[in-house]
Every structure is written in structure tokens, then in C-alpha cells.
Amino acid sequence: MNKIGEDVNKHRAKHMPENYVRFQFTSKRKRMSTVIHNCGKTEHGYDRRVHMKGAAEIVLDECSFYLNDQGQKTPLTDSVKQNFLKTITVYASQSLRTISFAYRDLRAGEGGPEHNLINEGDYLYEVEKGGYTLVGIIGIKDVIRPEVPLAVERCQKAGIMVRMVTGDNLITAKAIARECGILNDDLANLPDSVMEGP
């Protein structure tokens, strides 16, 4: 139930097609996908549509097209892709979590009969690789609780070295750490101020 008394699961059950497959989001996959069968595209030879959302740059890498200002499917050129990557960077530097939305139509038999895993270690599926159309990129702001910067400052004054662990984009992580007082400009510019998982 949400704040206005609506049950999200009821709405989802009411509007979701009966025949679908969902691949859940994980921190390794950084995306989630839903394959919808019999999506009304069969007259063009398509029998399924895959909707994907996830970490903006990862979903963007799977796109070959995008919806332009008129809502038309348009080839994604390198220069347009660079503009989208700039947008992602601008959002991330404002401590926004960036998410891309995309879709792909599948012809009968395409993507493997069981949406085969193509990389078992990362749990990526054939239907999640390439040929997607980018619908949009959004930035979500998680507001930092007012007490966090003060708590960080008190810890630092007590001699405690505060560190942050997150699954966020590197630029987003730096921006959030600055807002919390964990990183200052001098530290943020050091090459080893942020470490990524690998």
C-alpha cells in the first residue's frame, strides 16, 4: 500500500499481461527486463516485446535506436549517443541516480526458446543483448537526511575515517559523498579517492 491507500500489486496484476517473463534486477546485472508475449505485433512478424530498465549507461550500451522528439524510432549514431552520455554525467554530478528505459521487439524464435542465458556469471539473457530502442533517461534524487552531514562531521572530529559503500555510478557516488561531507574537493580530485568493485 502506498500513502494514498492504493495497492501497487493490485494495479500491476490488473494491467500486466498474463503471458510474461521477468528477469529481476540485481547489483551484478544492473538491469531488469520483462518479456511480454503476444503484444499485438504479430502482424509484423514480432511475437514478443522486451522492456528493460536499469543503470543508464548499461542500458544505453544495448541500444541501436532511440525515440526522437516526435516519438519516432531513429538510428542511434555515435554523436547522439555521446549527447546521451553527457546527459547521464550531468545528472550523476548532481547526485541523481540515472536510469534508462528501452524496449526491443522480437521475431518468433528470436532470443532463444527459453530466453537462454548467454553469460551465466552475470546472468545476462539473449533477449537483453543489443538492438534496443532507448525511450528515455531519468534522474532520481534520494534526499540526504539532514542529520547525515552532522553525523559524518562528528565522526571525523572524533578521529573516525568515514567511508561510503554504494552500488551507484562513480560520478553519482562522488556527488553524494560530497553532500554528506565524506569527500571534499581536494580528496575528490585524487585518483584513488573512489574505488570501483573490480
Fold of 8-141: Calcium-transporting ATPase, cytoplasmic domain N (3.40.1110)
- Give the domain ranges of the chain: 8-141, 147-188
Q: Is the pLDDT of residue 76 over 90?
A: yes
Checking if the pLDDT of 42 tops 50, the result is no
Band the pLDDT of 60: cuts 50, 70, 90. very high
pLDDT in tens, 20-35: 788 888 888 899 998 8
What is the C-alpha end-to-end distance of the chain, expressed in Å? 38
- Say whether pLDDT at 110 is over 90: no
pLDDT band at 118 (very low <50, low <70, confident <90, very high): low
* 143 closest CA partner among 107, 90, 103, 97: 97
Q: What angle do CA 30, 31, 33 make, to 5 degrees?
A: 160
CA atoms within 13 A of residue 27's CA, in its CB half-sphere: 6
At 35 the pLDDT is 86
Cα separation, 93 vs 172, whole angstroms: 6
By C-alpha distance, which of 22, 73, 16, 64 is closest to 44?
Answer: 73
